[in-house]
Amino acid sequence: MLELAIGIILGSCALGAGIAMIAGIGPGIGEGNAVAKACEAIGRQPESKGSVTTTMLMGCAVAETTGLYALVIAILLIFVAPGRLVDLLMSTIR
Amino acid sequence: MMKIDVTVRRETKYIAVWVFLLSLFMQAVFLIIGKWDYTVLLGNVLGGAVAVLNFLLMGITVQKAVEKSEKDAAAMMKTSQSMRSLLLFITVILGIALPFFNGIATVVPMFFPRIAIAIRPFLDRKKALEEVKKDGE
């Protein structure tokens, strides 16, 4: 029974980490779209290249933070959460 | 060797300065709460360096991508984002797994560029107000 409980904890943590990493897809698509539109804008007004690049860089960095949040949550779920939860389970049993 | 665009260089410099300042602040916080040791410093250096490197790599990719067609640019950014995410993933794993890096001090500096960008509008507004004042004189 104890092995089953530990297995469920580990499996849930791994599943949670996988689900959290779905958020990592968003920034890639968002950045891709932003740069594609920037190409269009620069093609239309080449003199605005500097300001478009600056704005886009900042936007891309902001978008990327979302992926980073997901990454941190996933890593915590893989490395930190299982140990804590198993400890909690053990202390509950005792 | 590829020449880095002036805009990319300027923005990376801005991010690097803010990462440095915020790192100093983080070190001070660790000192105040009494949890400072050499692992905090090493973790901070690793996290901060990777945060700036990540921004620079993104800038270089953007610089290359804007010279391509829309489709190629989007694909290039997606590939670059995946690679940079992998770099961040490896860094965070190293920060948590290796005993000579403090995990928190490695992860937190990666969010400093976001804070630097959030601060920027206030600095720009201040500069704009100063310019308006100068024009008025």
- pTM of the complete model: 0.84
How far, CA to CA in Å, does B5 sit from each of A39, B2, B12, B59, B60?
16, 9, 11, 9, 8
CA distance A22 to B85: 13
Angle between helices B38-65 and A25-44 (to 10 degrees): 40
Domains in chain A: ranges and CATH: 2-93 (1.20.20.10)
Indicate whether B1 belongs to any domain. no
The answer for residues whose C-beta is within 8 angstroms of residue A94's C-beta and 6 or more apart is none
Residue B15, pLDDT > 90, answer yes
Instruction: Judge: A71–B71 Cβ closer than 8 Å, yes or no.
Output: no
User: In which band, very low, low, confident or very high, does the pLDDT at B1 lie, cut at 50, 70 and 90?
Assistant: low
Q: Which of A84, A79, A71, A58 is nearest to A26 (CA)?
A: A71
Indicate whether B30 belongs to any domain. yes
Instruction: Judge: A71–B88 Cβ closer than 8 Å, yes or no.
Output: yes
User: In chain B, what residues touch A34 (CB-CB under 8 Å)?
Assistant: 77
Indicate whether B117 belongs to any domain. yes
Number of domains composing chain B: 1
Q: Considering chain B, what percentage of its residues have pLDDT values greater than 90?
A: 44
- At A1-36, the pLDDT tens digits run 888 888 998 999 999 999 998 888 888 888 888 888
B5 touches chain A (CB under 8 A): yes
Indicate whether B59 belongs to any domain. yes
Q: What is the pLDDT of residue A40?
A: 85
B88 touches chain A (CB under 8 A): yes
- At A42-73, the pLDDT tens digits run 888 888 888 888 888 888 888 888 888 888 89
ipTM reported for the complex, 2 dp: 0.74
- At B74-122, the pLDDT tens digits run 888 888 888 998 899 899 889 988 999 998 999 999 999 999 988 888 8
- The one-letter amino acid code at B104 reads I
CB-side exposure of B77: number of CA atoms within 13 Å?
34
Indicate whether B65 belongs to any domain. yes
Residue B73 is part of which domain span?
Answer: 6-136
CA distance B114 to B120: 10
Indicate whether B113 belongs to any domain. yes
B98 or B123, which is more confident? B98
Indicate whether B77 belongs to any domain. yes
